[in-house]
A and B are shown apart, each in its own frame.
Chain A
Amino acid sequence: MKKLMIAASCALALAAGTAHAQDRNLRIAFDVPYEPFEYKDDNGELTGFEVELADAMCEEMQANCEFVIQAWDGMIPGLLARKFDLIMSSMSITAERAERVLFSEPYYNTPGGWFGPNDFNTDVTDMDAMKGKTIGVQRGTTMDTFVTENMGGIVTIKRYTTADDMVLDLEGQRLDAVFVDYPVGEQTVLTKDGFKEVGEPVKLGEGVGVAMRKRDKDLANEVNAALRTLKNDGTYDTIMQKYFNYDIKM
């Protein structure tokens, strides 16, 4: 009898859950600043490509969304600790991450870009020439993995928590070059005098997806459906063209 009661109350709670889907609350985490994906504008408002896409997605899913700011280091642990429900912070889909979180279908892909001062003339794919150079990457990114696996032991790798600190050290000539997500480098390095792109962009990984807890399979289906609608009805392209002059759609 008792078991039945519990089962019944559970069923009731579940039914109530679906009935109130409209005013369901979702918390989405971003790591700022990561221009132009998520950053604060001059008024201190959170904005950017992913923030606007998240807004459109929430509208499509008819959910109330709250945006949470979370440093990159604590993203996945924060998700698992239920501090938020979704990560839409340019998280590239990797096998290692997929063991801990559930990814949606990819919603964009940007290459990793090489940036350095104007007098940097070394071919970044020539390992002999790169020997002894100091390269900056953001800790735990796919760019970090790429440099660690392909150039570890050849170049000195410096890992940074934020892109800001890394660019500061590039400006201060502590780094010969940085290998960073292309749009980020474009916004933070190329906007400064005396810096240029120093190598061909490298396509890395399977693109960027929304990360969720593994058990939230229903949520993932909803997210995928919403993203597909946005990609097809032109909303995605409108937002993308606002921030990029090249194609990142995936």
Chain B
Amino acid sequence: MPDFIVEWLDRNDIFTAMTLMEYWDGLVTTVHLVFLSLIIGLAVAVPLAILRTVKNPLISGPIWVYTYLFRGTPLLIQLYIIYYGVAQIPGIQETFWWEIFREPLYPALLAFTLNTAAYTTEIIRGAIVSTPHGEIEAAKAYGMNWLLRMRRIILPSAARRAVQAYSNEVIFMLHASAIASVVTIVDLTGAARNIYSRFYAPFDAFIFVALCYMVLTFILVFAFRKLENHLLRHQRPVSS
């Protein structure tokens, strides 16, 4: 570390190397948790969104119920139900499920994944149903079957329309992950709360953590802008 940072840390009560390490561990936990839940959530959401557009209500109905439930209730409540509720099921401690639900990480991951998958499903479904009719007709005229049409025409076209809404969902998910600290996970917010309760310095502890979230958000915004530029290249005006 450069000398001036060491010197500054020496004169500082709160931001010692030890507390900065706590923040760092929290950052790793937050990124780990959010990244995994987003990846799994997206992987679940794409097939669900496709099935959600199917006309048969026996297939699209249950998915509608799922997205309705998870978008209609707060994430905090979902996390409470999964974390504390599961532990109350009689005999759960004797089954192999307990290995998974004992630690707070997996219940939180499950709650976050189910929640983000519900939102992402609706985002992608919206993009799929708004595919211009002409594109589909053209694909049909070429003799493409449903699967090929979905793969070559509808999904790539829908991805372009969904990416902006999805970038919002990713940022919301990052911010929503702050509630992981209520189930004893020491994420960024958890680290800030521990440090705050040790030094009784709300401004220092929370402003620092807010800055950490902001930096993460900027990185996400930047990455999504790159992705949008790439996907929506064809919409850019032709430069003279």
Q: How far is the CB of A204 from chain B (nearest CB, A)?
A: 16
B182 lies within 8 A of chain A by Cβ: yes
- Could you give, for residues 26-59 of chain A, a 1 whenever the CB lies within 8 Å of some chain B CB and a 0 otherwise? 0000000000000000000000000000000000
Tell me which residues across on chain A come within 8 A of B193, comparing CB atoms: 73, 139, 161
Can you list, as one digit per residue, whether each of B91-107 has a CB less than 8 Å from chain A (1) or not (0)? 00100001000101000
Complex contact B87–A169 (CB within 8 A): yes
Choose the segment among B1-9, B144-152, B195-203 that binds chain A (4+ C-beta atoms closer than 8 Å): B195-203
A168 at the interface (CB under 8 A from B): yes
| Residue B130 lies at the interface, judged by CB distance under 8 Å to chain A | no
| A–B complex contacts, Cβ < 8 Å, 13 sampled | A73-B193, A77-B200, A139-B194, A144-B197, A145-B198, A160-B184, A161-B193, A168-B84, A172-B84, A172-B93, A173-B98, A174-B87, A174-B104
- Bound together, the chains give a CA A77 to CA B204 distance in angstroms of 12
> What residues of B have a CB within 8 angstroms of the CB of A158 in the complex?
184
Are A168 and B200 in contact (CB-based, < 8 A)?
no
- Residues of the B chain whose Cβ atoms lie less than 8 Å from the Cβ of A119: none
Residues of A within 8 A of B102 (CB): 173-174
Residues in chain A near residue B196, CB distance under 8 A: 73
Q: Is A231 an interface residue (CB 8 A)?
A: no
Q: Does A131 contact B (CB under 8 A)?
A: no
Residues 77-117 of chain B, each 1 if its beta carbon lies under 8 Å from chain A, else 0? 00000001001100001000010001010000000000000
Q: Say yes or no: B87 contacts A173, CB within 8 Å.
A: yes
Q: Does A96 contact B (CB under 8 A)?
A: yes
Q: CB distance B199 to A96 under 8 Å?
A: yes
What size tier do the contact residues of chain A reach? Answer: 20 to 34
A173 touches B93 (CB 8 A): yes
In the complex, the answer to whether A96 meets B182 with C-beta atoms within 8 Å is no
A161 to B194: give the CA distance in the assembly, Å.
10
A82 within 8 A of partner (CB):
no
Measured CB to CB, the nearest residue on chain A to B87 is: A172
What are the residues of chain B within 8 A of A77 when measuring CB–CB? 200, 202
> What size tier do the contact residues of chain B reach?
10 to 19
Chain B 165-194, CB-CB to A under 8 Å as 1, else 0, gives 000000000000000001010000000011
Within 8 A of B (CB), among A144-160: 144-145, 158-160
- Give Cα A97–Cα B197 distance, bound, in whole angstroms: 10
Contact string, A66-77, partner B, CB cutoff 8 A, digits 1/0? 000000010011
Give me 4 other A-B pairs in contact (C-beta within 8 A), A169-B84, A172-B88 excluded: A77-B202, A159-B194, A160-B184, A169-B87
Most interface-central of B104, B184, B200 (chain A CB within 10 A): B184
The answer to the question of A133 belonging to the interface, with a C-beta cut-off of 8 Å to chain B, is no
CA distance A198 to B44 in the complex (A): 46
How many Å lie between the Cα of A135 and that of B226 in the bound state? Answer: 46
Establish whether residues B184 and A169, one from each chain, have CB atoms under 8 Å apart when the complex forms. Answer: yes
Interface check A140, CB cutoff 8 A: yes
Q: Which residues of B contact A139 (CB under 8 A)?
A: 193-194, 197
Q: Which chain A residue lies CB-closest to B190?
A: A159
Closest approach, in angstroms, between the C-beta of B97 and any C-beta of chain A?
13
A174 to B105, CA, bound (A): 12
Chain A residues with Cβ below 8 Å from B87 are 168-169, 171-174
A140 to B194, CA, bound (A): 7
Residue of A nearest to B102 (CB): A174
Chain A residue contacts of B88, Cβ below 8 A: 172
Chain A, residue nearest B89 (CB): A172
Whether the pair A96, B200 counts as a contact (CB closer than 8 A) is yes
CA distance A161 to B200 in the complex (A): 15
Tell me which residues from 130 to 162 in chain B have a Cβ below 8 Å from any Cβ of chain A.
Answer: none
